[in-house]
């Protein structure tokens, strides 16, 4: 089969690889229906994360089960499944509390930008649909695996309530999914911070009520002015830089919550500043498995269309171009057809 290996920053190759096999009795093997490039794949691509060995890329996936290990009980060959980018057992205390992304057996999915992939901890990670979904639903089901699951977690962690005022920092795929999530949770006002016309348009389509194009101090001042100098009830931080985190902290009203899901790179906090800002923060890798059944149901009943976030759809063989397009911000998110 063919799959994707990153050898060095900027060096992504589609090449022939051994087909994955069952290594543990809790594994499943899936044939990918579609996969995609994640914003987090750009960190090593841009040299922000070190690459010490060739990396099997891809952690967002949906597809059809072709084989399962002897202990797998909840999914079987022939079923269509969606899984989280974090592998979990769904039985440990952290999973029981809904924090599957801190599972005692946690592993991170790899190797999904390929024709076939091995999914460890299949019972605790995968959710099957009753029947094979229509082709046009595949992009949206794929989005659930990470981008939507993560945007949803940001909104959940920021405790978005009916009628509340929400600020979304970041207009990448996850930020746009955060807008969708806030809308579904009934937010009254959703302010999306974005400087790019195509992303602003999609944010508005997903439910943003206001767009703030300014960044830094100007962006903070604008939001303060829009909220009568109070600030937002919930802030979704979907970038992970010092600037985006500062922006989130300064537009959050005292007593509010920040849901932060951009993997922090070089972000530091001043203890006293944090103390007097008086906001709550909950973030980390999204426990997508907690939300999978609900989000898959919203997609299958066509209540939401997160798949629209894929504004570039190309064959898996062209994966290198998929990375390049996202790196150069020509694409929000690349779907790879398998």
Closer CB to Zn ion, residue 88 or residue 247? Answer: 88
- Shortest Å distance, C-beta 127 to Zn ion: 15
Which of 22, 64, 66, 92: binder of Zn ion (CB under 5 A)? 92
- Shortest Å distance, C-beta 90 to Zn ion: 6
Closer CB to Zn ion, residue 88 or residue 234? Answer: 88
Q: DSSP secondary structure string, 120-172?
A: SSHHHHEEE-SSPPPGGGHHHHHHIIIIIHHHHHHHHHTT--TT-EEEEE--S
- Shortest Å distance, C-beta 121 to Zn ion: 8
User: Rounded to an integer, what distance in angstroms lies between the CA atom of residue 172 and that of residue 238?
Assistant: 8
Closer CB to Zn ion, residue 35 or residue 101? Answer: 101
Q: From residue 46 to residue 85, what is the string marking binding to Zn ion with x (rule CB under 5 A)?
A: ----------------------------------------
Quick check: 103 binds Zn ion (CB under 5 A)? yes
Closer CB to Zn ion, residue 1 or residue 92? Answer: 92
Closer CB to Zn ion, residue 86 or residue 312? Answer: 86
Which among 27-35, 86-94, 152-160, 280-288 is the span making contact with Zn ion, rule CB under 5 A?
86-94
Please state the φ and ψ torsions of residue 150, each to the nearest 5 degrees. Answer: -75, -40
Tokens of 36: 């995609």
Please name the residues in contact with 280: beta carbons below 8 A apart, sequence gap of 6 or more. 255, 256, 257, 258
Nearest to 28 by CA among 82, 65, 56: 65
Tokens of 47: 């040299």
- Shortest Å distance, C-beta 125 to Zn ion: 10
Conformation bin of residue 247: beta by default, left when phi > 0, alpha when psi is -120 to 50: alpha
Q: From residue 290 to residue 309, what is the string marking binding to Zn ion with x (rule CB under 5 A)?
A: --------------------
Quick check: 95 binds Zn ion (CB under 5 A)? yes
Please name the residues in contact with 221: beta carbons below 8 A apart, sequence gap of 6 or more. 214
User: Rounded to an integer, what distance in angstroms lies between the CA atom of residue 323 and that of residue 315?
Assistant: 13
Which of 60, 89, 233, 237: binder of Zn ion (CB under 5 A)? 89
DSSP 101: G
Quick check: 238 binds Zn ion (CB under 5 A)? no
Quick check: 86 binds Zn ion (CB under 5 A)? no
- Tell how strand 107-108 and strand 86-87 pair up: antiparallel
Tokens of 318: 């062209």
Total interface residues for Zn ion by CB under 5 A: 5
- Shortest Å distance, C-beta 287 to Zn ion: 10
User: Rounded to an integer, what distance in angstroms lies between the CA atom of residue 88 and that of residue 253?
Assistant: 35
- Shortest Å distance, C-beta 174 to Zn ion: 23
Q: Where on the chain is the footprint of Zn ion (CB under 5 A)?
A: 88-89, 92, 95, 103
């Amino acid at each position: 089969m063919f799959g994707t290996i990153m050898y060095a920053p900027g060096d992504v190759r589609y090449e022939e690889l051994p087909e994955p096999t069952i290594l543990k009795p809790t594994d499943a093997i899936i044939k990918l229906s579609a996969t995609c490039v994640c914003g987090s794949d750009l960190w090593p691509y841009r040299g922000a994360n070190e690459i010490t060995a060739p990396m099997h890329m891809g952690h967002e996936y949906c597809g059809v089960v072709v084989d399962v290990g002897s202990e797998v009980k909840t999914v079987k060959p022939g079923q269509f499944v969606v899984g989280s980018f974090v592998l979990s057992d769904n039985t440990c205390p952290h999973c029981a509390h809904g924090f599957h992304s801190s599972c005692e057996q946690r592993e991170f999915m790899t190797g999904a930008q390929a024709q076939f992939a091995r999914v460890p901890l299949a019972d605790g990670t995968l959710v099957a649909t009753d029947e094979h979904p229509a082709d046009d639903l595949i992009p949206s089901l794929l989005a659930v695996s990470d981008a939507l699951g993560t945007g949803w977690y940001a909104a959940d962690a920021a405790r978005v309530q009916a009628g509340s005022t929400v600020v979304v920092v970041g207009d990448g795929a996850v930020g746009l999914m955060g807008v969708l999530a806030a809308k579904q949770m009934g937010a009254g006002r959703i302010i999306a911070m974005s400087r790019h016309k195509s992303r602003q348009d999609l944010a508005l389509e997903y439910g943003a009520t206001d767009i703030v194009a300014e960044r830094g101090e100007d962006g903070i001042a604008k939001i303060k002015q829009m909220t009568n100098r109070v600030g937002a009830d919930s802030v979704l931080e979907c970038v992970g830089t010092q600037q985006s985190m500062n922006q989130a902290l300064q537009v959050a009203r005292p007593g509010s919550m920040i849901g932060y899901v951009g993997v922090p790179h070089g972000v530091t906090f001043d203890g006293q500043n944090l103390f007097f800002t008086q906001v709550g923060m909950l973030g980390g890798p999204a426990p997508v498995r907690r939300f999978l059944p609900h989000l898959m149901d919203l997609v299958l009943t066509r209540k939401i269309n997160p798949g629209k976030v894929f504004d570039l759809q190309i064959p898996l063989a062209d994966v290198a171009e998929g990375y390049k397009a996202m790196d150069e911000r020509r694409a929000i998110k690349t779907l790879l057809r398998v």
